[in-house]
Amino acid sequence: MRVLAALSGGVDSAVAAARAVDAGHDVVGVHMALSRTRDQFRTGSRGCCSIEDAGDARRAADVLGIPYYVWDLSAQFEQTVVADFLHEYEAGRTPNPCVRCNEHIKFAALLDKAVALGFDAVCTGHYARVVVRADGTRELHRALDAAKDQSYVLAVTGPERLARSMFPLGEVASKEETRAEAAARGLSVSAKPDSYDICFVADGDTQGFLRERLGSRPGDVVDTAGNVVGSHDGAYAYTVGQRRGLALGRPADDGRPRYVLSIEPVANRVVVGSADELAVRSVTADRAVWFEAPDEPLACHVQVRAHGAPVPAVVRTVRDDVEVVLDEPLRGVAPGQSLVVYAGSRVLGQATVTGARALAGTR
């Protein structure tokens, strides 16, 4: 097969590309330039889109003996991933930009361009497995290494794009194994730190990034009775479940810590309450993408954070919407989060959280 290997400049994508070469595929490497004002070097281990990363990707391609190109996808990235990130926070929701990047960039813009150029598949360094059933159906499963599993952020790809995706690291036992393999292959990125957090917020200051883009919008922080207990410089900078950085001027009557319960963008208010008030037993979601949609209520597991634990639940579909009843309470579920449905290790589908019903009421 003709395979386009996405080379981020990190160790995972380099080893994935190497394995695709070993499998006998005709491999071409490409680095995605996602910012038009890229830094020369990384800031520590944050980000993955610096000029340094592009150089590391080129050197990996040289070692592997494959052609290498840089594709400028910065306009698409700004118009989709960054714009969605800002819009969602402004609307009082909590997005996952990695999910949107996989949806709009890696498995849309990149894959579509690859197919148009005659490639059969795109290879990435994601930790996830593709299992092919006897009838040819391709299933997305968790990686063998649970600590590195990225099936959560890949759930949005859907069956058509999964059919043209390769994840050679899905069966790797640990990240240490990947690094050892990179070193054995002579890849200079073998000891390179992992990238983490939001790649386009290289310094890790998400609130500062939002404030720079959205401006100062002072408002009130209130308790569930509507009493003003503090102030904020922009409701968009908060998320459900947040405790740090509230700077409340009025302590709770019981002296216990308070958390963000909800964001009210129209009123420009942040509502806070106790940890107990964060617990929810049901969740609603929309914009579902299914690998296999349940025809009737299904006992399964759901996950609402990339590094969160899956929890048992019953899921049912109502037209394009999803309703979830949890077997046990879950805290800090925020509108905008990605909800992924699992049957064992298999991903069944993904949807975007629209609301949650708390034990003590609805929010």
The catalytic residue positions are: 101, 199
Closest-CA residue to 11 (of 177, 130, 147, 154): 177
User: CA angle 25-142-120, nearest 5°?
Assistant: 25
Length of the chain: 363
Nearest to 230 by CA among 220, 239, 240: 220
- Torsion (CA) 303, 298, 348, 158 in degrees, nearest 10: -110
Sheet holding 68-72, edge to edge: 68-72, 26-33, 2-6, 121-123, 165-166
State the DSSP code for 168: T
**Cα separation, 62 vs 165, whole angstroms:** 23
Contact, 356 vs 339, CB < 8 A? no
Question: Is the torsion defined by CA of 358, 347, 99, 147 positive or negative?
Answer: positive
